[in-house]
Amino acid sequence: MGTGPAGDATRHGTRWGPMAGALVTSLGTLAALASLTWTHAFGLDSTIIIQDGNATFSSSQITADDAAFGMAPVRLGDGTWKNVLRAGFATATLNGLCISKTETVAGLVKYTIKLTAGDGTAALESRANNAALDVTSLRGAGINLQGSTQIGQASTDLTTAPGAAPYLANPFAVPQTWDGGFYGPGSTGPNAYSATGNGGHTNGQGYTGIDATRGTLNAAYGHLWQAQVSGDITLPNLTIKVLPFTDSIGFNANGTQNTTPDGIDDRSCWTEARQGTYPK
Amino acid sequence: MPRSDPHLPGQLSVGHQRLVVVLAVLAVAAAAIVLPGPGDDARGQAFSSAYQPFACDQPGSSDPQQRRQEIQLDNGAGDFNAAGRMHPCLAGVRWHLQSGNVATSSTTPAIGQIRTAYGRKFPDTVFYAAAGSRTDLYQLAFSGLQFCTGDTTPIGACAPAGTTDIQLYADSTDAPGPKSAANYRLTIDPDQAITIGGSGVWTEVLATANSSFTVPVAELPTATHLACALVGGTARGGFLGIGGTCELSASDFAGDLAQWLGGGENYTLLGVNLDLYYLVTHRQNPSDPYTQIPVDGSGNPLNSIQLPNTTISVS
């Protein structure tokens, strides 16, 4: 557990008083959990949490068994659907992990919450089972897919969990039927599919993917919409920081650094990775 | 503690600020680590519920995998009679792979190299996951597709390092319905050369008839434009029927006479333009591609697709 959360937030103007104890306690609980193996610690169901797209992530290396990448629709809070690329791994080992998210309150106050984990070495020290990342952009200095790789399957047909046959069907949970829209079967509202057909069995048509035996991503970062781990996760030295939003570092479209604000926090995982700094 | 921090202009009460921070911390923690609650033998010659657990079905059919596509793989000699078969449930989304210029008449620069290639008209109707099918696709099998990584790698005619432009994307726009409500383009944009297949790995695709690649005429068996034209290819450049380039489409290449690219030689690629609906990498002449992964001599899975310095984006 780092000293960042209370320290940074306090330093920049929030008086904590009695709340500080509660916050430190909650963060302390998170850190304590992080130092152990997280096994359904929160008891949450597989509820999809959709963010507004301003979360970023980075890692020095992600090595995954039974990796797959597939297009998937996710429901936004307003009931519409957004297409994202879902990266799923039966087992992922990581050298460092950084996840940051900027929150805007009342359209004025912006904070960036930053989570980092890693042992500071080149070792693959973090581990997650049945992990999935929903991204709209992903950059890797090296993306290697090993073994037999397929491209063009429906995302429903990708196999990752549990990492060996017999595999689970549709581990990415891509809608496989015409369900009548956002409000459920028989209702109206936005649907993940453009039309129905095949007796309502849409089967993931139109959502394409890549299925690999093993995948390695070196120096990876990107824009994250959601992260899920349905199995165990171990995150050594988890640190959570609350940072006031700062944006003096931007990037041109070609990736060249400049001083034009780009709406992404200077200390976000994305900006730091663009500058060559990755969590280890 | 100072209250005048410019990042916290004070519109919120202290209590609200605390609440915001706590909720934000919990939000990112939950977003980072959401813990939700929650398929024998592969035998790649037949469907296996262990390896293809998703029901790619058609209501009313007694076959729960009615729409799953069987693809018999090549045996490494152009016969397409390997024991191994793939059984994908196809998305129906077209992937596009392009590099160089297939219509070039110049034999330089090269964009890559290919070793051994075969083709055939795919004999079966190709079904998509839910609706639609087509009967006009071709199956191409090749080994050792390598794009140029430097001006001498893998061949001397390569373009300088970093100048080989490769486009690889999937576009849902022309996919048949039902499909994603909103169209998307999934772009895999490498800064430099990528490897698909590579040494020792076989790659097979289901591609459209007009998918093509271009090689130097000088590397064809008789090194003449006539050899190119005999299989329906398009010869360009050269002089008096010698030299220049030969563009071979999938439909050209599927003819018997085109089997001469299967001689185990390396061929210089001047341009590639593929529209494909399925791609699979596998070892030579597999009997069960679902369990016999391509391996090197030490038993390690080969890097069958390598994307150095690559940005993947959804738009």
Contacts of A140 in chain B (CB under 8 A): 307, 309-310, 312
Calculate mean pLDDT across residues B7-22. Answer: 54
Q: Inter-chain contact B1–A15, Cβ cutoff 8 Å?
A: yes
B247 belongs to a structural domain: yes
CA gap B193, B164 in Å, rounded: 7
Q: Minimal Cα–Cα distance from B203 to chain A, Å?
A: 9
Rounded to two decimals, the ipTM of the complex is 0.86
Asked if B198 and B303 touch (Cβ cutoff 8 Å), the reply is: yes
B145 belongs to a structural domain: yes
B315 belongs to a structural domain: no
Whole-prediction pTM: 0.84
Model confidence pLDDT, tens digit, residues B145-201 = 888 888 888 888 888 877 778 899 999 999 999 999 999 999 999 888 888 887 778
Residue among B39, B131, B172 minimizing CB distance to A167: B39
Contacts of B314 in chain A (CB under 8 A): 71, 83-85, 135-137
Q: Sorting pLDDT into bands at 50, 70 and 90, what band is B42? A: low
Position B109 pLDDT exceeds 50: yes
Q: How far is CA A221 from CA A58, A59, A212, in A?
A: 4, 6, 20
Write down the pLDDT at residue B27. 52
Residue among B31, B278, B306 minimizing CB distance to A144: B306
Residue ranges, chain A, pLDDT below 50: 1-48
Write down the pLDDT at residue B196. 86
B304 belongs to a structural domain: no
- Between residues 218 and 247 of chain B, which touch chain A (CB distance below 8 Å)? none
B269 belongs to a structural domain: yes
B67 belongs to a structural domain: yes
Which residues form the domain of B111? 19-298
Structural domain count, chain B: 1
Residue among A38, A165, A197 minimizing CB distance to B178: A197
B12 belongs to a structural domain: no
**Does any CB of chain B come closer than 8 Å to the CB of residue A253?**
no
CA gap A112, A264 in Å, rounded: 10
Residue among B14, B31, B86 minimizing CB distance to A49: B31
Residues 6+ apart with CB under 8 A from A78: none
Scanning every residue of chain A, which has its alpha carbon at the shortest distance from the alpha carbon of B67? A203
Contacts of B201 in chain A (CB under 8 A): none
Calculate mean pLDDT across residues B253-280. Answer: 79
Write down the pLDDT at residue A123. 94
CA gap B40, B288 in Å, rounded: 13
Write down the pLDDT at residue B303. 83
Contacts of A167 in chain B (CB under 8 A): 39, 50-51, 53
Measured in degrees and rounded to the nearest 5, phi and psi for residue B17 equal -60, -45
Produce one character per residue of A8-21: b if its CB has 16 or more CB atoms within 10 Å, e if not: bbeebbbebeebbe
B313 belongs to a structural domain: no
Residue among B24, B28, B89 minimizing CB distance to A203: B89
**Does any CB of chain A come closer than 8 Å to the CB of residue B154?**
no
Asked if B154 and B164 touch (Cβ cutoff 8 Å), the reply is: no
Q: Inter-chain contact B31–A101, Cβ cutoff 8 Å?
A: yes
DSSP B252-275: HHTSGGGGGGGSS-EEEESEEEEE
Model confidence pLDDT, tens digit, residues A252-263 = 877 788 888 888
Contacts of B25 in chain A (CB under 8 A): 5, 23, 26-27, 113, 240, 242
Write down the pLDDT at residue A22. 37
Write down the pLDDT at residue A178. 84
Contacts of B12 in chain A (CB under 8 A): 105-106, 109
Among A53-62, B39-48, B240-249, which stretch is predicted with the lowest mean pLDDT?
A: B39-48
Asked if A131 and A217 touch (Cβ cutoff 8 Å), the reply is: no
Q: What percent of chain B has pLDDT over 70?
A: 83
Write down the pLDDT at residue B38. 31
Residues 6+ apart with CB under 8 A from A102: A54, A55, A110, A111, A112, A113, A245, A264, A265, A268
Helix (H, G, I), strand (E, B) or coil at A146: strand
Q: Which of A115, A139, A79, A60 is nearest to A227 (CA)?
A: A115
Contacts of A15 in chain B (CB under 8 A): 1, 3, 14
Write down the pLDDT at residue B12. 57
Scanning every residue of chain A, which has its alpha carbon at the shortest distance from the alpha carbon of B52? A157
Write down the pLDDT at residue A31. 40
Model confidence pLDDT, tens digit, residues A113-172 = 899 999 999 999 988 888 888 999 999 999 999 989 999 999 999 999 888 899 999 999
Calculate mean pLDDT across residues B209-222. Answer: 90
